[in-house]
Structure 1
Amino acid sequence: MVGPTNTDIPFTQSEWNSKISKIYNYWLSIHPKSNELPRRQDFDPMDIVDLLPLVWMLDIHNDPLRYKFRLLGTALTPILGKEPTGQWLDEAFPDALNSGAYDDYHYVVRTQKALYRKGTPQYIVPEYKTIERLLMPLVDRDNNCQIILGLSVYT
């Protein structure tokens, strides 16, 4: 297992990959009000067409808490070695349960905060040494985290 993501690191956008920064600024722009998080219907993929190959979404299911791939960008499929859309995360990638990534997903659901990470990939992708990733919550009408919107850049 790769270590957990440090949620206290004060990364600034100037240190981020430009694609990470772009989706974060887009996510901020679709907040309905300053004190509300965006919902799925606030997100329009046509607004970020150039980023879609790196975008992925996980649906949140409760009791028990599980994640299901809503979509995986086409540039990520060859990196991860499969197309998991429609599959449960723990079935598509059994090692994810013991990875820091799974804890990161829980963090986003629990805190409803975006989470940035740059470091060693938490899934096994031997050709890549670094992942830069942003996870952002999308909520339902009751303000519960319904979807994790992610963008990942592997180098």
Structure 2
Amino acid sequence: MAAAKKYAEFQLLSADPVDIDSLPAGSPVLQLHDYWRSIAPTRALLPGRQHLDPLDIDPQVMPWVFLMDVVRRDGAPLDYRYRLVGTGNVGLVGRDATGELASAVFNRVDAPFVLDTFDLTVENAAPTYWIATVPNDVIGMVTIHRGLFPMARDGRTVDMLLCIAVPRSLA
């Protein structure tokens, strides 16, 4: 019960979409973008989970990576289940959401915005980039750079998101 309460209190304090060109050179977000692009079977098709090998992701980047399954239910809005949350992200926000639905992790204020960012990535089948502020139990607020990358087993229908959220100080 305490874990559910912690999840319900999590807030994304602010977030703004950014262009990929505004991210710093060498950023882990750019490194993950390059990896995501490199595993696509062709320029016209999205990579799928079958193309992803976590061992090929830079070990400095991997702690900031999280994977989300796209959850589709007839007549319901999309939702997202955290399949994997990197140790860096767990430490950043002070909780591990692995196995949880995004709609249950974020409070009522933030859920629509956060889910909308995921939805935008899925609907456009194109990556999105964000600068956001999230709470941290130790230092208060942390500014992060975030990238969401669509993945599709069939190359077209997005069924997973490969994501990264990294503190700006490391970006």
TM-score by length of 1: 0.84
In 1, the alpha carbon distance for the partners of 2:69 and 2:130 equals: 20
Match of 1:81 in 2: 94
In angstroms, what is the RMSD of aligned CA positions?
2.2
* Number of aligned residues: 150
Q: Does 2:154 correspond to 1:154?
A: no
- Which residue in the other structure is 1:53 paired with? 63
Listed as ranges, the gaps of 5+ residues in structure 2 are: 1-11
1:113-137 Cα shifts (integer Å, max 9, x gaps):
001112x32x544633311011000
Q: CA deviation at 1:141?
A: 1.6
User: Identity, % of aligned pairs?
Assistant: 25
> Partner of 1:31 in structure 2?
40
Relative contact order (alpha carbons < 8 A, sep ≥ 6): 1 or 2 greater?
A: 2
Name whichever of 34-43 and 134-143 sits farther off.
Answer: 134-143
Aligned positions of 1:84-99 closer than 5 A: 84-95=97-108, 96-98=110-112
Unaligned runs of 5+ in 1: none
Q: Structure 1 residue 94: deviation in Å? A: 2.9
User: TM-score, normalising length from structure 2?
Assistant: 0.77
Please give the secondary structure, in 2, of the residue aligned with 1:76: helix
1:2-41 aligned within 5 A: 5-6=16-17, 9-12=18-21, 15-16=24-25, 18-41=27-50
Instruction: Check 1:13–1:3 CA distance in 2 against 1; reply closer, same or farther (3 A cut).
Output: closer
Partners of 2:23 and 2:106 lie apart in 1 by 32
Residue range with higher mean Cα deviation, 10-19 or 58-67: 10-19
| 1:75 Cα deviation after fit | 1.1
- Seen in structure 2, the aligned counterparts of structure 1 residues 143 and 60 have a Cα distance that, compared at 3 Å, is same
Q: What is the DSSP-based 3-state SS (H/G/I as helix, E as strand, rest coil) of the residue aligned with 1:15?
A: coil
Deviates further, 139-148 or 58-67:
139-148
Offset from partner CA, 1:26-75 (integer Å, 9 cap, x none): 11111101111101111110001412110001110112211110010011
